[in-house]
Amino acid sequence: MKNEILANLHDPGQLEKLYRRNKASFKQAFRNLYPELKGNLLAEFWNERLHYDNEEINWGTTRELVMVLLAALVAGFIAKIPSLFQINEEFFYPRNIGFIFLPLLMAYFARQNKLQPKLIGIVGGGILLSLIYINLLPESNTSDTLILACIHLPLLLWSLLGVTFAGNNFLDYNQRLNFLKYNGDLVVMTTLILIAGGLLTGITIGLFSLIGFQIKQLYFEYFGVFGLAAAPIVGTYLTQTNPQLVNKVSPVIAKIFSPLVLVMLLVYLGAIVYSGKDPYNDREFLIIFNLLLIGVMAIIFFSVAESFKTKRHTTATWVLFLLSTVTVLVNGIALSAIVFRIAEWGLTPNRLAVLGSNLLMLLHLLFITFQFYKVLTKKSEITTISRAIAIFLPIYSLWAASVFFLFPLVFNFK
């Protein structure tokens, strides 16, 4: 989109067409370009237009609404496949939960961004290969590699979603950061939709129970399942057609939660010492420790994507620098714990997967923390932090693909 804007900077009609084709992408690309376009009369006009606060909700065209409705119905249908075709739910959902809505979101962005046929083929091939592979894996209640494949499949599909979101500029670091921002906005919007849906559910079931109709099971089997499946699709549509809905909410959440997470993490590390718990001999505690690590890293990524554009934010930078530093310490503990467990009890698929993930996250965190330090010492620009976040995303995708495709084969479906 950035290249198209630059190529048509003196063509008002074509700029209008680009804007109408994909408003959210146009707005984000123009925002990144504007610092170097200041002084251009047409650029100044678009800057004022795009930053005008419009209180009205844009519901899009009738065709777009119909497509969103159809996508929501398809997602609900996929979620209902086990009950419709008498398929074991314990077999279906762990393997296929990512296919309920992620391919539909990929189709949405592929259409919005006019994805090249070559990329459509790569994404479509990746979806089809993953779908066939995961469902051909031997059924087992004790296979660690099957569990690992089921966990890493949504991450692999999420990576393919990132390719369609970035469009034909998927190598652009700014697009990768925009993808992280989209994920943060989607979490906020989907949460609001689910809260509203929960209130509607409670009221509906309560009202019907007052007149003698117990519809709880029927409601959840159909309306509940379809609503849960449709929520990310509707949330995506709203964030893309109305960026202003969460543009002001998400940065506030990022600024509030970053210092709170930092304080929580420091208190938690102190509580670990006091409690005598350690991740070296307690497997469940190590699992929780790693989940905490992933959550904190997500907060750092989300905060950078939401808060860092072109201006300096010294306070926010210090908070995130301290948070990154403490997270490096947490990661170091987790990594040393898994190395200890491998040395004591040998190598297993789970331990190798955790070792690789922790090592990758540690390298990424060290790189991010170093960039924060350079910014705070005025040896680098704030944008290098965003680049440090974005540059590692494909590596996470490759690791997820390796665990998903190779681990079951290498460990003989153990």
| Among 11, 30, 50, residue at a domain's last position | 50
* Better-scored residue on pLDDT, 107 or 18: 107
User: Which distant-in-sequence residues (6+ apart) come within 8 Å of 325 by Cβ?
Assistant: 369
In this prediction, residue 52 carries a pLDDT of 63
Q: Is the pLDDT of residue 378 over 50?
A: yes
Q: Are 389 and 297 in contact (CB under 8 A)?
A: no
Pair 37, 136 in one domain? no
Pair 240, 267 in one domain? no
What does the DSSP assignment read for 127-196? HHHHHHHHHHSPP-SS-HHHHHHHHHHHHHHHHHHHHHHHGGGTT-HHHHHHHHHHHHHHHHHHHHHHHH
In this prediction, residue 134 carries a pLDDT of 96
Give the range of the structural domain holding residue 16, as residue numbers without chain letter. 2-50
* Better-scored residue on pLDDT, 304 or 134: 134
Mean pLDDT of 349-377: 91
Helix orientation angle between 23-37 and 41-50, rounded to the nearest 10 degrees: 130
In this prediction, residue 55 carries a pLDDT of 55
On whether residue 121 sits in a domain, the answer given is yes
Q: To the nearest whole percent, how much of the chain has pLDDT over 90?
A: 40
On whether residue 56 sits in a domain, the answer given is no
In this prediction, residue 367 carries a pLDDT of 93
Q: Is the pLDDT of residue 307 over 70?
A: no
In this prediction, residue 152 carries a pLDDT of 95
Q: Is the pLDDT of residue 148 over 90?
A: yes
Q: Is the pLDDT of residue 133 over 90?
A: yes
On whether residue 94 sits in a domain, the answer given is yes
| Among 244, 276, 310, residue at a domain's last position | 244
Pair 226, 262 in one domain? no
On whether residue 57 sits in a domain, the answer given is no
Give the least confident one: 34-38, 337-341, 364-368.
34-38
In this prediction, residue 283 carries a pLDDT of 76
Mean pLDDT of the chain: 86
Pair 217, 353 in one domain? no
Pair 346, 274 in one domain? yes
pLDDT digits (tens, 9 = 90+) for 340-351: 989 988 899 999
pLDDT digits (tens, 9 = 90+) for 78-91: 999 999 999 999 99
Pair 177, 224 in one domain? yes
Pair 252, 270 in one domain? yes
Q: How many residues does the chain have?
A: 414
Q: Is the pLDDT of residue 4 over 70?
A: yes
Count how many domains the chain has: 3
CB atoms near residue 58 (< 10 Å): 14
pLDDT digits (tens, 9 = 90+) for 14-61: 888 777 777 767 777 777 777 777 777 777 787 777 766 555 666 777
Pair 229, 252 in one domain? no
Pair 178, 84 in one domain? yes
Pair 238, 90 in one domain? yes
On whether residue 55 sits in a domain, the answer given is no
Pair 66, 204 in one domain? yes
Pair 332, 372 in one domain? yes
